[in-house]
Amino acid sequence: MLDSCTNNALLPDTALYEPLMTWTEIISHEDSLQVFDHESGSDAAWTAVRPEYWTRRHVCDWLQFCCDQYKLDSNCIPISHFDLTGAQLCSMNKEEFIDWAGVSGECLYLILQNLQTDAMPVCDNPEEESAFFKECDTKGMLCAEDTKNQKGHNRVKSGQQASHLWEFVRDLLLTPGDHQRILEWEDRDVGIFRVVKSEALARMWGQKKKNNKMTYEKLSRALRHYYKTGILERVDRRLVYKFGKNAYGWQDCKTVM
DNA sequence: AGCGTATTTCCTGTTT
DNA sequence: CAAACAGGAAATACGC
């Protein structure tokens, strides 16, 4: 089986993003992030939006970009697996991602991680940018040599995803996989979900925050604080919550590939 | 050091 | 009765 990562000298330095934006430009678009309309899934390019907030369309565009620019073999990518949002994409850990994404998984994971973290060159210096992509290139080659036993990708930082409780909840809802029915969508279209296993949810949140004294009682108090900020809306049913107008990243985007 | 935000902790009362 | 919900109040954690 041919690993597409072997496929070329990836990243011909600065030419890489020529048709797109430089990182500096991308970062300067932070402001436009604030006004991005998640409801309508409107038009910001994936380059202008943080991966965690990508719509399905953005994920699709990003994948296409990776295939084009990194010469990944699209035949080796399970395209149907990428019918997911950025939040879903980002919530997978490395193992899950690689399982999910096929033989190019490690390459794609690395690219995504670098987009997510400040490993992105935040500078105006094209030389640094190009150095960044060279490093990315090197890692890409590594993954071609051995897709299994590469552990030391120190470049990939552990990331800052889901640092807030509501994001943690959201990502749990969106993550395909293994947390067995702790949360379930009640009405996905409008963002209503139900806490199925309250103690388990508290335990997971406690683990994440390294707080073994977390309880659902306390977690739910934190959730109720979200009512006043519009992250959540009240639903007068036990263990049922609804994402509010200030929550993002949970929607099921209608525009698909 | 000071501040603001996001919880965490505790509590009293109410509802399911 | 147990489990949740409602919020107020205060303590804490943490990033800037």
List per-residue pLDDT tens for chain A, 257 residues long: 333 333 333 332 322 332 333 333 333 333 333 333 343 334 566 776 778 878 787 787 777 777 666 666 666 777 778 888 888 888 877 777 777 887 777 778 877 876 765 444 333 333 443 443 444 344 333 333 232 222 222 222 233 356 899 999 998 998 766 566 899 999 999 999 999 999 999 999 999 999 999 999 999 999 999 999 999 999 999 999 999 999 998 985 433 33
A175: its two tokens:
């993550």
A161: its two tokens:
């995803």
Say if residues A156 and A110 touch (Cβ distance below 8 Å): yes
pLDDT of residue A240: 98
Assign A185 to helix, strand or coil: strand
Confirm whether any atom of chain C, the nucleic acid strand, is less than 7 Å from CB of A133: no
Residue A185, strand partner residues: A193
C1’ B8 / CA A35, Å: 32
Nearest nucleotide (C1') to alpha carbon of A165: B7
Say if residues A110 and A102 touch (Cβ distance below 8 Å): no
pLDDT of residue A78: 77
Query: Distance between the two ends of chain A, CA-based, in angstroms?
Result: 27
Say if residues A93 and A99 touch (Cβ distance below 8 Å): no
Tokens 């073994």 sit on residue:
A212
Computed on alpha carbons and rounded to an integer, the radius of gyration of chain A in Å comes to 19
C1’ B8 / CA A147, Å: 42
Confirm whether any atom of chain C, the nucleic acid strand, is less than 7 Å from CB of A181: no
Nucleotides in chain C near protein beta carbons (<7 Å): 3-9
pLDDT of residue A70: 62
Complete edge-to-edge strand list for the sheet that includes strand A240-243: A183-187, A192-195, A240-243, A232-233
Assign A67 to helix, strand or coil: helix
Dist CA A109 CA A123 (whole Å): 23
Assign A148 to helix, strand or coil: coil
pLDDT of residue A253: 46
Q: For residue A217, count CB atoms less than 10 angstroms from its CB and return exposed for 0-12, middle for 13-18, buried for 19 or more.
A: exposed
Calculate the alpha carbon distances from A193 to A169, A183, A238 in Å: 10, 7, 11
C1’ B7 / CA A222, Å: 6
In the 195-224 stretch of chain A, whose C-beta falls under 7 Å of nucleic acid strand C? 195, 198, 216-217, 220-221, 224
